[in-house]
Amino acid sequence: MRGIVYYYSSTGNTKLAVNYLKKHILNAEIDLCDIANEKIVIPDDYDIVGFASFAEYLGPPTLMKNFIESLSMQNGKPAFVLNTFGGFTGQTQTEFAKQVEARGFRVVVGHSLKMPMNYPPMKRKGKHSENAPTTKDMSNFNDYIGRIGKSISQIEKGEELKSIFGAFSLKKLVPSMSRDKVKKDFGIQQIDKEKCINCGNCARVCGYNAIEMSPSPVVDHNKCNGCWACYNQCPKQAIHARSFKGEHQYKGPSKELIDRMS
Ligand SMILES: Cc1cc2nc3c(=O)[nH]c(=O)nc-3n(C[C@H](O)[C@H](O)[C@H](O)COP(=O)(O)O)c2cc1C
Ligand code: SF4
Ligand code: SF4
C-alpha cells in the first residue's frame, strides 16, 4: 500500500509532525510532498492521501486551499487531514476536511495537534505553547496515526470506508478571519535597510511569491497574504510589521522538540 501526504509548513512544526507520522505508519509506504517547495506528484497512484497544514486565522491556509482546488476531481479516494495549531484551532480541521471532500476525496480520519505558537502577536501576549505537544497530545496523535493504519488495513481488505465528516457538512463553521482584516492587523511590512543583508531568505520562504530580490527585497503587498513567514525567518530581524520590530519571532521547533518527535 502507498500513501502520500501533501503538506504546507511555514516554520517547520507541521513538517516535523508529518515526518513523525511517516515514520510511525508501518503498514504503508508514505511519501511526503512539500507543496510550497517541491514538484507536485499527482495523487492517482496512491491508495490513501493525506493533507497537512497549520491553523492560520482559524482556518486552513490560503496556499493549501488553492492547492486542494487545483487537484483533479476524485471519486471517493480515502484521505486524512492533519492540522497543527498554537492556541485555538477553531473549526480548522472540519473546514480543511470540507475543502478536501469538495474535491471528491473521502476523509476517513482527522486530527489537530497542538505545537508551539509561531504567530508573533500571540507570542507577545505570552501565549507561546512552548511545552506543546504534551505527553497527552502525543498520545492522541499516536492514536490518530493508529486510526490511519487501521484505515489502510481496511482498504487492503477491500472494505468500504466511511467519511467521518459527512455529519458535519451542514454545520455552521466558526468563520476564519477575513484576509483584509488580517492584512490590516499585519500592516504593510517594511524592510529595515540598515539591518537587511540581502540574504534572500524572506523571498525563499514566501509561499505567495510576494517578495522579489532586486537586489534588496521588494514586497508586492497585493500578493502578500499576511502569513508572517518572512518576518519569522529573517535572520537579522529586518522585517517590521505595523507595531512589531522583529521581536517575538518563531524560528522553528527547538532541538528538544525535534529529538522528542524523531
Ligand atoms: C499568520 C498565522 C496565523 C495563525 N493562526 C492561528 C490560529 O488561528 N489558531 C491557532 O491555534 N494557531 C494559529 N497560528 C499558529 C500556528 O498554527 C502554529 O504555530 C503551527 O504549529 C505552525 O505550523 P508551521 O510551523 O508548520 O507553520 C497562526 C500562525 C500564524 C503565523
Ligand atoms: S531575510 Fe531579512 S536580511 Fe534576508 S533579505 Fe530578507 S529582509 Fe533582508
Ligand atoms: S510577504 Fe506576505 S505572504 Fe510573503 S512571507 Fe511575508 S507575510 Fe507571508
Q: What is the mean pLDDT of residues 4-8?
A: 98
Do residues 163 and 108 make contact, with C-beta atoms less than 8 angstroms apart?
A: yes
Q: Verify whether ligand 1 is closer than 6 Å to residue 57 (CB atom).
A: yes
The Cβ-side half-sphere exposure at 6, using a 13 Å CA radius, reads 23
pLDDT digits (tens, 9 = 90+) for 113-126: 999 999 999 999 99
Range with lowest mean pLDDT among 73-77, 150-154, 173-177: 173-177
Assess whether pLDDT exceeds 80 at residue 172: no
Ligand 2 site, CB within 6 A: 191, 196-202, 217, 234-236, 238-239
- Spans of all domains in the chain: 2-174, 180-240
- CATH architecture of structural domain 2-174: 3-Layer(aba) Sandwich (3.40)
Q: Which of 142, 136, 118 is nearest to 13 (CA)?
A: 118
Assess whether pLDDT exceeds 90 at residue 25: yes
Radius of gyration of the chain (CA): 19
Do residues 237 and 247 make contact, with C-beta atoms less than 8 angstroms apart?
A: yes
Q: Where are the alpha helices (DSSP H) in 25-91?
A: 62-70
**CA-closest residue to ligand 3 atom 2:** 224
- CATH architecture of structural domain 180-240: 2-Layer Sandwich (3.30)
Q: What is the mean pLDDT of residues 235-259?
A: 95
Considering every ligand atom shown, identify the ligand nearest to the alpha carbon of residue 10 and give its number: 1
The pLDDT value recorded for residue 174 is 59
Ligand 3 site, CB within 6 A: 205-206, 208, 210-211, 219, 224-230
% of the chain surpassing 90 pLDDT: 83
Confidence of residue 156 (pLDDT cuts 50, 70, 90): very high
Cis peptide before 215 (omega within 30 of 0): yes
